[in-house]
Amino acid sequence: MNYVSFSSLNVNNLTIEGLFSLNKSTIEIAKPVTTEIGPIAAAALSHVEQAHSELGANMNQSQKSALTGDIQELDKQRDADLREIFNVNKTYLKSSDAAKKAASSTLQLFLTPYKGAAKQPINIETGTLSEMIGKYKASAELKAAAATLGIDGLFTSLETKNNALNEIYLSRNAEYADRSDAATDAKPTAISAYMKFCTAIEQAHHYTPSETLTAVFNKMDELRKKYHALEGKKVENVSGDAAGNN
């Protein structure tokens, strides 16, 4: 009987997310038949489960930050300022006061390109508002128009909140970078556990064959083929699909 090996897969080239997803699907394949794959493979599977749990815990930790709440709150506040600027300006477009109507028309032309800013991703919105505020501050005409309508203070408030949000956002990114080291450190253990389990299944499939082992081997092999195509690519939601299609 020829020794049949698994299809090629360089697990080291998978991202942390990809490795987590691969191990999750592998556990889902083998866990229901633990008692039928032999004691060595079962023991190896328990190591995969432990390494997978540790990797997942570190990944979750790296994605949490106490700063997120502050960012969300500042985002709401700056959006409120921006919305009020638009609303007040719109109100004066049909004003009977010629000076205020003219000021409103001037601001309307300036504000129109930024109408959808609040719907942008947080970091993109920050850049958009920085650009808008920079142009506003550089124009005596725009500042005078805002003062005429009594919304110059809103522009100042918007700038303050936008700058504060950006500082916290950058701090959170730095925090994430530090925390991601923990998940990176856990990756080698998860890789090793997976590879040893694959070896155990290969050997059990060859030396103590059974229908169950053949089924597990084939499902794992199909999984490896799918992940081979994903080496080095970000994986977000492959595990469920991969497990379900094998």
b/e string for 75-85 if b means 16 or more Cβ within 10 A? Answer: bebbbebbeeb
| Segment of 121-130, 153-162, 227-236 carrying the highest mean pLDDT | 153-162
Indicate the burial class of 178 (C-beta count within 10 angstroms; 0-12, 13-18, 19 or more): exposed
Higher pLDDT, 139 or 2: 139
The reply to whether 218 and 170 lie within a common domain is no
Residues whose CB falls within 8 Å of the CB of residue 146, separated by 6 or more in sequence, listed in order: 103, 107, 136, 152, 154, 155
* Span 71-100, pLDDT tens digits: 889 999 999 999 999 999 999 999 999 999
Handedness of CA 107, 117, 132, 65 (dihedral sign): positive
User: Final residue of a domain: which of 124, 139, 174?
Assistant: 174
Distance of alpha carbon 15 from alpha carbon 99, whole angstroms:
60
Distance of alpha carbon 25 from alpha carbon 22, whole angstroms:
5
Residue 139 lies in a domain: yes
- Indicate if the pLDDT at residue 244 is higher than 60: no
**What is the mean pLDDT of the segment spanning 44-61?**
88
- What pLDDT does 62 receive? 52
Domain carrying residue 206: 11-64+181-245
Q: To the nearest whole number, what is the mean pLDDT of the chain?
A: 87
* Span 197-237, pLDDT tens digits: 999 999 999 999 999 999 999 999 999 998 887 765 554 44
The reply to whether 85 and 29 lie within a common domain is no
**What is each CA distance from 199 to 64, 191, 194, in whole angstroms?**
35, 12, 9
- What pLDDT does 33 receive? 97
Percent of the chain with pLDDT over 70: 86
Higher pLDDT, 175 or 172: 172
Residue 86 lies in a domain: yes
The reply to whether 75 and 51 lie within a common domain is no
Number of domains composing the chain: 2
Indicate the burial class of 145 (C-beta count within 10 angstroms; 0-12, 13-18, 19 or more): buried
Q: Using only C-alpha atoms, what is the Rg of the chain?
A: 29
Residue 196 lies in a domain: yes
